[in-house]
Each structure stands twice: as structure tokens, then as C-alpha cells.
Amino acid sequence: MSSSRRQLARQISELIERPRTEAVKASRPQVIGITGPPGAGKSTLVDQMIRALRRADQRPGVILVDPSSPLTGGALLGDRIRMQEHSSDEHVFIRSLATRGRLGGLADGIDGVLGLLGEVGFAPLLIETVGVGQSEVEVAQIADTVVLVLYPGWGDEVQTAKAGLLEVADIFFVNKADQGDAGPLIGQIEAMLALSSRDWKPPVIGGSALTGVGIEALLSAISAHVNYLADADR
Ligand SMILES: Nc1nc2c(ncn2[C@@H]2O[C@H](COP(=O)(O)OP(=O)(O)O)[C@@H](O)[C@H]2O)c(=O)[nH]1
Ligand SMILES: [Mg+2]
């Protein structure tokens, strides 16, 4: 780790302790939230997004939020190992943040961190959170664009407990299409979205974070959403 990196890491730790929300909000770069149930493939997808963004000469900053719940215990270590490949790339910044069992209040501290990463030239910024409890609502408050990662077989839950998840998503990514037929879940989501009165119609993309299929389509959809937000000045 270079000394400037070490300094950045220290500043981030300080910001988590002492949020400075107001000052940085205006200068913050585009923030993309990646959420979804445990095991959906969020980290694998983030890894692919980093690669694609690097190919496009961008400098992504990534925050992995670990709610430290029994549900996700241990997952973070795997994420870090998987993403270690990027640790030698000075144009990628990856940091994991533990939230002591809940996301509540995280928004304040994280705003400062995002502002700081923007100031030192990282953009876009990606935040991975597990879509359990309230975290998906919180990530929607922080992120400009929320990507919900699901996978075939998850569909039984679509109609019930996870309705909140569906409402906060700006883009759906039905992952693991290499493993199972993504079609039925895509159809189910689209049927639900057809009932929505939202002005923005969330695209539903099938793909595989493992093979990279659908990643370019995902990045295009994110750009389209960013343009939509800019046009309407939302
Ligand atoms: N077959 C298949 N497996 C995947 C895909 N994406 C992720 N996985 C696997 O699913 C597991 C969970 O992935 P991970 O990215 O850690 O999920 P997260 O908990 O949502 O961050 C890992 O074993 C991945 O290798 C995919 O597109 N296809
Ligand atoms: Mg993960």
C-alpha cells in the first residue's frame, strides 16, 4: 500500500467516526448501489464491473458494506480475496466497512467517504450491500442508481416479503443465467413492473457475473439511468 493510499484509508476511518455530510454532498460522483440477497452474486458482479470500468479507463471506487450479521458472516473475507487482484491497481480503490449488525445511520458516515473518494478522483463509486432488512432502503438513499441482483429460483419470494426490494431497484440483474433459465424470473419481474406507475421503467437484464454475459448491458442501463436523472434534474 502506498503512503497516499494509507492516508486515504486513515481519512476514511476518521470520516466513519465523524461524518461531515453537508460539505461533500455536492461534489460527490455518481454512486451505484448493488444489492440483493446473500449469494446472489453481487461481489462477483462488482468484480466484473470493475474490470469493465477499467477497460473504459475509469477509476472505480468500491465500498463493500458488511452488516456483520450471522447471515453474511464470512462472506466478506471471500469478497476481499476475490477482489484482491485489483489491489495492485492504483486506479481502483476497494474498502470494506462493517456496520455492527445494522445499516442504520451508515448513510451519514458513508456520504463523507464517498465525497472523499470523489475528491481524489475515483468515479464511479460502487456500494455493495446485502439486501436484507432495511439495507436496501438505506442504499437507495445513498445511491443514485440501485441495481438489484437476483437469480433464477429466487422468484417464489418476488410476490411476498421482498416487495420493498423491488420498489427501490432502478435496474434488475437476473444473475446465474449460465446455471438456470433466467426467463421465468425476468417475466415475473416485468409483470410486476408493468403495474408500477413509476416514470422510470427499470430494465430487467439477464446475465452471468461468472462468465461476464450481460455486464456491458448492465453498464449501458446504468448510463441510461444516469442520463434520465440528469435530464429531469432529479
Ligand atoms: N453459476 C454461477 N455462479 C455464480 C454467478 N455469480 C456468482 N456465482 C457464485 O455464487 C456464489 C456467491 O457469489 P457472491 O458474488 O459472493 O455473492 P454475494 O453474496 O451476492 O456477494 C459464489 O460461489 C459465486 O462464484 C453466476 O453468474 N453463475
Ligand atoms: Mg458479496
The ligand minimizing its distance to the Cα of 48 is: 1
Ligand 2 centre and the CA of 81: distance in Å?
11
State which amino acid sits at residue 130: V
- Per-residue pLDDT of 2-59, as tens digits, reads 778 888 888 887 776 665 554 444 567 999 999 888 889 999 999 999 999 999 999 9
As a whole number of Å, the end-to-end CA separation of the chain is 38
pLDDT for 26: 53
- Per-residue pLDDT of 103-122, as tens digits, reads 555 555 787 888 889 999 99
pTM, two decimals, is 0.86
Longest dimension (CA), the chain: 53
Closest ligand 1 atom to Cα of 128? 21
In the predicted model, what is the mean pLDDT of residues 180-187?
Answer: 91
The class of domain 31-99+121-232 in CATH terms is alpha beta
Ligand 2 centre and the CA of 197: distance in Å?
31
> Torsion angle of alpha carbons 88, 91, 94, 95, nearest 10°?
110
Domain ranges of the chain: 31-99+121-232
